[in-house]
Amino acid sequence: MKQATGKLGVLCVGLGAVTSTFITGVLMARKGLAKPVGAMTQYDKIRVGFGDAEKYLKYDEIISLASLDDLVFGAWDVYPENAFESAVNADVLRAKDIMPVADELKAIKPMSAVFDKRFANRLDGDNVKPLNNRWEMMEAIREDIRRFKKENGCERVVVLWAASTEVYVPVDPAVHHRLSDLEAAMKANDTERIAPSMCYAYAALAEGAPFVMGAPNTTVDIPAMWELAEQKQIPIAGKDFKTGQTLIKSGFAPIIGTRCLGLNGWFSTNILGNRDGYVLDEPANFRTKEVSKLSTLESILVGEEQPDLYADYYHKVRINYYPPRGDDKEGWDNIDIFGWMGYPMQIKINFLCRDSILAAPLCLDLVLLIDAAARDGRYGTQRFLSFFLKSPQHDYLQGEVPVNHLFKQYVMLKNAIREMGGYEPDEAMD
């Protein structure tokens, strides 16, 4: 693995609640004024070796990771507010956790975004590039990446999507399966099947920057983008940050499956009042999120494998926009299970979480680990990062089933880090 030398540019698409919380936390941690709690790269330890050679090491003791001091932040956003104004407006963090880094936050001003209101109808910012053609949009983003990298003296750049969920874009083989078809559609300005997020992803890969999709958008979950990532030998990861309810689901469903209990139904509902919730209140945007959230359970509790237990359960997911809550999201899960001789039981889970507080450490981990993967020569879809994502990318053309089981994902994560550090992967997934 190449060592993590020099500055790492972190370019975020979206400078809203998640990004401003992420950046503020990193800046505060640098000063020793806050702890990066929740970040696996900063706290978790992995066993390497056996017997007398066994030891537990932090990630940066196994592989070379960029330090927090080496991160340089930039962003694109449809709204012109700088990172300080965004952090204040998001109302996630208290003043005492923002003011010590106010000057650094004020210096982070978003570049104008490429935007198509049809993909996020509820957003109306005017910090937008005056471009309509998809290929021109992509080229403008490439220029932004090059300029940012040069002006900030960055050796490497990672691009992270932390913006709103776009309307659902179904995978169309005529456009999304081959890179040449995707490029032709972009040049022909196909505004129905080429989402703005695809312009960001294409630009990042073309500039040699790993790309992480933190929303459930189709963006890099298409064979044409896999082809581009392979061609440029750049890693990609997606999709959708695994923060609240899906984190609980991917961790709790294995309890039901491991104990061989049956499932009749799982009803999940959420309320939140931040910008993400406002965008998701639009049915076309919610459809994208729904596809992402529904996929988790079905790959953990599989009817074909255990027909007596999981052949016919009902799974429903709802998200409700409720402005009084702001970024304080609440998730309710009602789980109807059955046990010995079919007798019914119920489980209720009420998770009062903070969406951006849970997402911020995921942003840090994904940025640091996909940068490490790139330096290790890994490219294409990084399945080991599925631990951090709701709807992990997988090769559906080959019938691959995504791994959503949290503890199997953790094995994948640990083994990848062992491999990058020169150790043998020594845990198996049953």
Q: How large is the average pLDDT for residues 71-90? A: 98
The 3-state DSSP class for residue 284 equals helix
Q: How large is the average pLDDT for residues 151-163? A: 98
Determine phi and psi for 207, rounding to 5 degrees. Answer: -95, 10
CA distance 385 to 17: 23
CA distance 188 to 287: 27
pLDDT beyond 80 at 294: no
The 3-state DSSP class for residue 222 equals coil
What is the CATH class of 7-241+357-420? alpha beta
Q: pLDDT value at position 292?
A: 65
Q: CA torsion sign, 269 to 330 to 212 to 56?
A: negative
The 3-state DSSP class for residue 123 equals coil
225-281 pLDDT, tens digit per residue, is: 999 999 999 999 999 999 988 999 999 999 999 999 999 999 999 998 888 788 877
Domains 7-241+357-420 and 245-354 share a fold: no
CA distance 20 to 223: 32
Q: How large is the average pLDDT for residues 388-409? A: 94
Give 107's pLDDT tier (boundaries 50, 70, 90): very high
Q: pLDDT value at position 176?
A: 98
Determine phi and psi for 50, rounding to 5 degrees. Answer: -135, 160
Residues in CB range of 401: below 8 A, 6 or more apart: 299, 394
The 3-state DSSP class for residue 200 equals helix
Q: pLDDT value at position 410?
A: 97
pLDDT beyond 80 at 284: no
CA distance 366 to 387: 10
83-101 pLDDT, tens digit per residue, is: 999 999 999 999 999 999 9
The 3-state DSSP class for residue 266 equals strand
What is the 8-class DSSP label of residue 241? Answer: B
Q: Which residue has the tokens 């799982």?
A: 266
CA distance 185 to 11: 26
CA distance 380 to 233: 7
Q: pLDDT value at position 203?
A: 98
Structural contact between residues 333 and 349, judged by C-beta atoms closer than 8 angstroms: yes
**The token pair that represents 91 in the structure block:** 């109302």
245-354 CATH, one of 3.30.70.2970, 3.30.360.10, 3.90.400.10, 3.40.50.300: 3.30.360.10
Q: pLDDT value at position 293?
A: 63
44-58 pLDDT, tens digit per residue, is: 999 999 899 899 999
**Is the preceding peptide bond at 239 cis, omega within 30 degrees of 0?**
yes
317-367 pLDDT, tens digit per residue, is: 998 999 998 889 899 999 999 999 999 999 999 999 999 999 999 999 999
Domain ranges within the chain, ordered by starting residue: 7-241+357-420, 245-354
pLDDT above 70 covers a percentage of the chain that reads: 99
Q: Which residue has the higher pLDDT, 245 or 179?
A: 179
CA distance 50 to 286: 47
Q: How large is the average pLDDT for residues 189-204? A: 98
Q: How large is the average pLDDT for residues 157-176? A: 96
Q: pLDDT value at position 327?
A: 86
Q: pLDDT value at position 138?
A: 98
